[in-house]
Structure 1
Amino acid sequence: MNRSSKTRAVSTRWTAVFVIVGSGNAAALQVGKAAIAAPLLQSDFGVGLTAIGWLAGIFALIGVIGGIPTGAFVARFGARRILIIGLLITTAGAALGAAIPGLPSLFSGRIIEGAGFLLVTVAAPSLLEEVTLPSDRDLGFALWSCFMPVGMAVAMLVGPLFEDWRTMWWASGALALAICIAVPLVIPAGGQGRIMSWSGLRRDSMTVAREWGAVGLAITFALYSLMFFAVFSFLPVLLTERLQVTHQTAGLLSALASAVNVIGNLAAGLLLSKGFGRPALLIAACLVMGLASFGILLPMLPDGAAFGLCLLFSAVGGVIPAILLSSAPLVAPAAGLAPIVLGLIVQGNNLGQVLGPTAIGGVLDRFGWGSAAYIVAGAALIAVLVVASTLRQVGAERVNFGVRDR
């Protein structure tokens, strides 16, 4: 292959990577839009923060039970195909919520969006494995791990520009549809799954579920998501009340706080390449998040310092998802089971997304902002114990992507 051909091949691979990451951004935007639209939804439907918490987290309920099965579907039918289906379902859910008046249709649309989110967030990293070279995968997964903070930041930044939440829903659905159209144009068909029986899928799923390292990754991701969304699902409301800023300013500040999460995402790849241990980085990040939550949620610091801790909370926390996602192949019990491990991790992620907004929303309505700090700190402590007990050996040996020697 001559130099120009190699250049074109590299360009094509990275174009595919950015489209895959864009699909995750579109899925994450569906999460963030509920948070930034909270004042509009409260005004339109007359609901409290508990209901807003469910709107922010209800779509992830399907992910709590569907992560491993979705990973099995990806292994069976192919990541590219499932990614396209996921983006189409996301578009349909957004359209349903916007088109039919009433709170029931909005909740139904969020459930459908949750199904799309699940399909996208399991299929996309599996497809990323297919389109990247082994030497590029650490960077590819570091970029993929940015999908949630970038999508959330876009929602926080753009959301206040909409005077009506329904228009916001239509726009988010249109974005998912546009990326869906781009996927088959940029990523060629191939790797469309393995021929295997349904009994084989069940057997592989159970094999992954019994892998303690994979379970540890999933539990840690669940606790991270609980901590992150406990704060960020209500951050615009917190900033509006505490800093006495406008809805638009709260959106801008929340977007900044979400965006700095990318710093941790990208720093994780650099730190791992410098020889830092995965468990040590995870433990340090969890401790920082837990301690920072007290300064954010308790009225013990000046407003500016509290917002500074929001930035620290987000930036340091970004290390966690990047390490967990890139560790999935290291704990895969056999070749070809990485998509199912990713499904289990996404299952944990969705569990945290459900518990974070819903639990914190109820606590806030009953006890106020300060009480939420103890939930976040407790989750951080449990995460430290899980990492210490289940992930001590992750990354301690050189392994092939998707295969670990037994």
Structure 2
Amino acid sequence: MAVLSEGQSPATDWRAVAIVVAAGVVAALQVGKGIIALPALRVDFTLGLEAAGWVISVFAFLGVFLGIPAGMAVNRFGDRFTCLLGLAVLGLGSLMSALAASFALLLVGRTIEGIGFLLTTVAAPALLRRIVAAADRDFVFGLWSTYMPAGMALALICGAALSGWRGFWLANVGLILLTLLLAFLIPRETSRTGQPLAALARDAWTTLTSAGPVLIALVFTLYSLLYFALASFLPILLGARMLVSPGLAGLLSALVIAVNILGNLAAGALLGRNLVARWLLFAIALVVMGSAGIAIFLAPLPPFLIFLLCLVFSGVGGLLPATAMTTAPLLAAEPRLTPMSLGLIVQGSNLGQVVGPVTVGAAVDAAGWPAAAWPVAIAALLALLLTALLRRFPAMHVLR
């Protein structure tokens, strides 16, 4: 097995990169499987919509509070160990969820899954930063940031083709275990000692009081609010506006989510070639998402144009996650604080996932679909104002 020192700037280990990205996609599958299984879960456990929503939102709820602690775990135990631990916990929770005989046990399993998801997805970027050469980092982080839309789209497509949610969830357990075995091939760290808890607490405080990481996390919170405000209601929205069957609405929703991958890859390629300023990619994504979102909810447009705008919203919006992931390490107060800065972004992402659907849902319940345009417009405007503040950091500009 290859061994790398923690401070080494290695040639990119593409095999390890593929394994880490696959681990992220598999982790995101566990989010998507809850969405596709929700109707069957409501029947099996006799659940109302509010109770069933916890099957999905428990991941986001945990992420709001545990992003920085997950980053502390990376600094304490190492990126490789934390990633392996995360996959193991994810597998255990998935097995418990698949075999749950009651809704309470299902929620316990989903909570354990959520902890495994956080450990895996916070450790993975830190791990990639160690095993990827500096010249390849922007491209690889663009590739990494596709894990969520890729995993969710795969879950929507594959889950819809299978009968019975338990069988699909057990298949996911096998997939997690396979990924865990492959993850042992990732190069180990050497010459590192875990930080004491007092030092970890100081580092967490430094991260929380550093303007750069906090601003990036706030922008990502608002991006997540925007994205999930639409994505969470896509099957319902497309079914209502395009008058298609639930099955077709689900497939169209998967396509909208999947096209987000293209934006992430495009951002990674542009940043890797140093062709565009990071703040400009933020601004483009936010302007397009805000404008398209307002039109989707507010304008009386033909069904085909509504779907086209959903694709544009998701695809161009994908410029922002890859840019944020590659920028957070550059704005960390010190290189060793990178895992905590990434954990702060995870907390922001999950806060947006919680607030976005709730805010839009309340607006739609109160005044119909057009009312959803207001939270979309406000979130996009606030994110643009924060992006203007980020422009003062040299890392947000093209560096020649």
TM-score, normalised with respect to structure 2: 0.90
Aligned equivalent of 2:180: 180
User: Does residue 254 of structure 1 match 2:256?
Assistant: no
Q: 1: distance between equivalents of 2:310 and 2:183?
A: 35
Cα deviation for residue 148 of structure 1 reads 0.9
Would the alpha carbon gap of residues 382 and 398 (structure 1) be closer, same or farther in structure 2, given more than 3 Å must change? Answer: closer
2:289 corresponds to: 289
Residue identity opposite 2:314 in structure 1:
S
1:125 aligns with 2:125: yes
Partner residue, 1:218: 217
Q: From the superposition, tell whether residues 354 and 292 of structure 1 become closer, same or farther in structure 2 (CA, over 3 Å).
A: same
Residue type of the alignment partner of 1:225: S
Alignment of 1:296-335 (within 5 A): 296-298=296-298, 300-335=300-335
Corresponding residue of 2:85: 85
Structure 2 CA distance for aligned equivalents of residues 48 and 241 of structure 1: 21
AA in 1 matched with 2:117: F
Distance 2:206 2:330 in 1: 15
Aligned counterparts of 1:242 and 1:44: Cα–Cα separation in 2: 30
Q: 2:279–2:397: 8 Å Cα contact kept in structure 1?
A: no
Q: Which stretch shows the higher mean deviation, 127-136 or 367-376?
A: 367-376
**1:267-288 CA deviation, whole Å, 9 max, x = no partner?**
1123333432111221221121
Question: Following TM superposition, by how much is the alpha carbon of 1:396 offset from its aligned partner in structure 2, in angstroms?
Answer: 4.8
Distance in 1 of aligned mates of 2:398 and 2:298: 44
Aligned equivalent of 2:205: 206
Deviation at 1:107, TM superposition (A): 2.4
Give the direction of change, closer, same or farther, for the CA distance of 1:67–1:391 in structure 2 (3 Å limit): farther
1:226-270 C-alpha deviation (Å, 9 max, x unpaired): 111121122123333433333332232122111111111011123
Q: Which moved more, 1:55-64 or 1:215-224?
A: 55-64
Judge conservation of contact 1:89–1:113 (CA < 8 Å) in 2.
yes
Q: How far is 1:131 from its partner?
A: 1.0
Say whether the 8 Å CA contact 1:80–1:192 is kept in structure 2: no
The letter for the 2-side match of 1:245 is: V
Distance 1:50 1:120 in 2: 28
**Residue number in structure 1 paired with 2:63:** 63
Match of 1:37 in 2: 37
1:337 aligns to what? 337
Question: After superposition, where does 1:106-255 map in structure 2 within 5 Å?
Answer: 106-184=106-184, 186-191=185-190, 193-255=192-254
Q: What's the offset of the Cα at 1:17?
A: 0.3
**Partners of 1:101 and 1:372 in 2: CA distance:** 38
CA distance in 2, matches of 1:27, 1:232: 18
The answer on whether the counterparts of 2:126 and 2:338 sit within 8 Å (CA) in structure 1 is yes
Contact 1:59/1:112 (8 A) holds in 2: no
- Residue type of the partner of 1:392? R
CA distance in 1, matches of 2:397, 2:248: 47
Q: Are the structure 2 counterparts of residues 234 and 45 from structure 1 closer, same or farther at C-alpha, using a change threshold of 3 Å? A: farther
Quick one: distance in 2 between partners of 1:225 and 1:98?
28
Distance 1:375 1:71 in 2: 31
Alignment of 1:340-359 (within 5 A): 340-359=340-359
How far apart, in 2, do the equivalents of 1:194 and 1:368 lie? Answer: 56
**CA shift for structure 1 position 47:** 4.2
Q: Which amino acid in structure 1 is aligned with residue 324 of structure 2?
A: L
Taking every aligned residue pair, what percent have the same amino acid on both sides?
Answer: 46
Instruction: Provide the rounded CA distance (Å) in 2 between the counterparts of 1:126 and 1:191.
Output: 15
2: CA distance between counterparts of 1:397 and 1:153? 33
- Equivalent residue number for residue 99 of structure 1: 99
Structure 1 residue 296: Cα displacement: 2.6
Q: Secondary structure of the residue that 1:195 maps to in structure 2?
A: coil
- Alignment-mate amino acid for residue 59 of structure 2: F
2:331 and 2:55 mapped to 1: Cα distance? 34
Specify the code of the residue in structure 2 equivalent to 1:243.
M
Residue 264 (1) aligns with residue 271 (2): no
Task: Tell me how many residue pairs correspond in the alignment.
Answer: 389
DSSP-derived class of the 2:13 partner: helix
> In angstroms, what is the RMSD of aligned CA positions?
2.3
**1: distance between equivalents of 2:211 and 2:42?**
43
Distance 1:358 1:95, change over 3 A: farther
Distance of 1:60 and 1:136 partners within structure 2: 30
In the TM superposition, what is the alpha-carbon distance from 1:391 to its structure 2 partner? 4.5
CA contact (8 A) 1:79 1:193 kept: no
User: Conserved in 1, the CA contact under 8 Å of 2:259 and 2:315?
Assistant: yes
Contact 1:94 1:110 in 2 (8 A): yes
1:46-81 superposed Cα distances (whole Å, 9 cap, x missing partner): 545444443322222122111112111101211111
Contact 1:214 1:332 in 2 (8 A): yes
Structure 1 residue identity aligned to 2:347: Q
